[in-house]
Amino acid sequence: MTKQMHLTAFMRPVSLHTGAWRYPGAYADANFNFGHLKSFIRTLEAAKFDAFFMADHLAVLNMPVEALKRSHTVTSFEPFTLLSALAAVTERIGLAATASTTFEEPYHVARRFASLDHISNGRAAWNIVTTANPDAALNFGLDDHVEHGERYRRAREFVDVVTGLWDSFADDAFIRDQESGIFFDPARMHVLDHEGPSYKVRGPLNIARPVQGHPVIVQAGQSEPGRQLAAETAELVFCSPRDLESAKALYADIKTRMAAFGRARSALKILPAAFIVLGEMVEDAKRKRATLDSLVHYDSAIASLSIALGHDASTFDPDAPLPEIPDTNASKTGREQVLKLAQEEGLTVRQLAQRYGGYSGLAFVGTAESVADEMQLWLEQEASDGFTVVFPFLPQGLEDVTRDLVPELQRRGLFRRDYEGTTLRDHLGLARPANAFFSA
């Protein structure tokens, strides 16, 4: 059988593009309207997506007020409340929530994911983040943010505590014998008694073992400690490689690191973020993207371009090509990427700025056939096991993907025509973990 592609939908915010809410016909409140989100997830489920993925922030993001007031992400639902509500109106699609190891307690995190997994009948996934945003720290009484390496050391211990708590009860602990009055077998309950450098947690967790054994573990870090944490613990990796070559390198690196932990390469799926814009002709798709980019306000756009260039771009003529920029050591890679993009697509300073201020990551822009070609290439070249789809605007950009692209992938035998199992682990082809303290 052809290698199968996995598709998750990046849904918090519903589009990462800053102009998404202004696109003609788009819902201005797509990110914060429960009715809309319910219809999105049902459409994704009908298209057999693996999962609905909620990134998260623990603060209003710190940005200049001119950009902030134009941001549709400033009001968002909290992941557990939203995903639990969506669990009640769906049957099969996976539900991936982000939870921070820096600003949460492992007992709470273990409990909420176990609860979501039970409510959804085995569809929960935990996206582990260590939260780099200093604004978040200020909302939790910390003036200084915890240092990067230390955050990852704590995250590693945090994962051990959470998975240990999930294993508090054997799968068969709950007898519920009304006749004898025995509700559960206390010999099938484990008290964790964890005492580590950062956490001291007794347990047991006050909820039965999750339906999936453990909810699926997701990791998004691309840094050195992030890759190591992923190779050791993650089952799904969300990443943002810029192009096929860097994706192949990242893919090979993480999969190779897994061997040191005795893990099979298939026990982890790597799903890069891909911004997908479809049209009947390639030119239609490009035009849609240009329209979308044009809705990014120039003031915030030019700031993003300046950052990418490592040079103040605000004095450039917006409607002329990018001028020569004196060579400095700062941000050489970023500058080369901007120059490459300017040449390839023949963009003016304004258009470049709006690209960087909108969405500048990996994008597949074209017809269902041409985009399917690209996705298939990535799969075959071992650059990915599928994609985390970022929609350009809602609802149309999402409906374009489910109506046109998914059937094309199905025709090629690259994507399921129906769910084969009931849990997210089933969809992803991941084994149900054994209980660390009890044999089955």
Give, as ranges, the residues between 208 and 247 that touch a copy of itself (CB under 8 A).
208
Helix (H) / strand (E) containing 288: helix 282-294
Whose CA is closest to 162, among 230, 96, 110, 215? Answer: 110
Record the tokens describing residue 263, joined without a space. Answer: 């893990």
As a whole number of angstroms, the distance between CA 226 and CA 239 comes to: 11
**Residues in the chain, overall count:** 440
Per CB under 8 A, contacts with a copy of itself among 357-386 are none
Q: Judged by CB under 8 A, which stretch of 57-65, 218-226, 373-381, 424-432 contacts a copy of itself?
A: 57-65
Q: Judged by CB under 8 A, which stretch of 55-63, 224-232, 235-243, 332-340 contacts a copy of itself?
A: 55-63
**Is 102 annotated as belonging to a binding site?**
no
The DSSP bridge partners found for residue 124 are 95
Q: How far is CA 170 from the centre of its chain?
A: 31
Closest CB to a copy of itself among 189 and 325? Answer: 189
Closest CB to a copy of itself among 386 and 397? Answer: 397
**Is 311 annotated as belonging to a binding site?**
no
Burial of 323 (C-beta count, 10 Å sphere; 0-12/13-18/19+): exposed
Q: Judged by CB under 8 A, which stretch of 2-10, 137-145, 226-234, 420-428 contacts a copy of itself?
A: 137-145
Closest CB to a copy of itself among 185 and 373? Answer: 185
Start-end of H helices in 88-178: 106-119, 134-138, 148-166
Q: Which residue's entry shows tokens 């918090």?
A: 12
**Is 223 annotated as belonging to a binding site?**
yes
Start-end of H helices in 47-105: 65-68, 79-87
At a CB cut-off of 8 Å and minimum separation 6, what does 406 contact? 7, 47, 48, 415
The nearest distance, CB 165 to a copy of itself, in angstroms, is 9
The DSSP bridge partners found for residue 125 are 96, 216
Does residue 255 touch a copy of itself according to CB under 8 A?
no
Does residue 207 touch a copy of itself according to CB under 8 A?
yes
Figure out which of the listed residues 10, 21, 238, 359 binds a copy of itself, where binding follows CB under 8 A. Answer: 21
Figure out which of the listed residues 141, 262, 326, 346 binds a copy of itself, where binding follows CB under 8 A. Answer: 141
Q: Judged by CB under 8 A, which stretch of 199-207, 251-259, 361-369, 386-394 contacts a copy of itself?
A: 199-207
Helix (H) / strand (E) containing 419: none
Binding mask 27-46 for a copy of itself (x = CB under 8 A): -xx--x-x---x--------
Closest CB to a copy of itself among 175 and 249? Answer: 175
Closest CB to a copy of itself among 90 and 367? Answer: 90
Figure out which of the listed residues 39, 42, 59, 404 binds a copy of itself, where binding follows CB under 8 A. Answer: 59
Q: Label each residue of 398-426 as H, E or C.
A: HHHHHHHHHHHHHHCCCCCCCCCCCCHHH
**Is 76 annotated as belonging to a binding site?**
no
Per CB under 8 A, contacts with a copy of itself among 64-123 are 65, 68-72, 74-78, 80-82, 84-89, 103-105, 107-108, 111-112, 114-116, 118-119
Whose CA is closest to 263, among 231, 304, 221, 291? Answer: 231
Concatenated DSSP letters for 161-188?
Answer: HHHHHHTTB-TT-EEEETTTTEEE-GGG
Q: Judged by CB under 8 A, which stretch of 1-9, 23-31, 147-155, 338-346 contacts a copy of itself?
A: 23-31
The nearest distance, CB 150 to a copy of itself, in angstroms, is 17
Q: Judged by CB under 8 A, which stretch of 205-213, 239-247, 326-334, 393-401 contacts a copy of itself?
A: 205-213
Q: How far is CA 387 from CA 51, 238, 314, in A?
A: 11, 8, 35
How many residues bind to a copy of itself according to rule CB under 8 A? 72
**Is 148 annotated as belonging to a binding site?**
yes
As a whole number of angstroms, the distance between CA 382 and CA 161 comes to: 33
Closest CB to a copy of itself among 210 and 272? Answer: 210
The nearest distance, CB 195 to a copy of itself, in angstroms, is 9
State the distance between the two ends of the chain, measured CA to CA, in whole angstroms.
Answer: 31
Does residue 171 touch a copy of itself according to CB under 8 A?
no
Q: Which residue's entry shows tokens 């939790």?
A: 140
Figure out which of the listed residues 2, 150, 206, 261 binds a copy of itself, where binding follows CB under 8 A. Answer: 206
Per CB under 8 A, contacts with a copy of itself among 258-317 are 295, 297
In this structure, are residues 136 and 103 in contact, taking their beta carbons and an 8 Å threshold? yes
As a whole number of angstroms, the distance between CA 242 and CA 130 comes to: 23
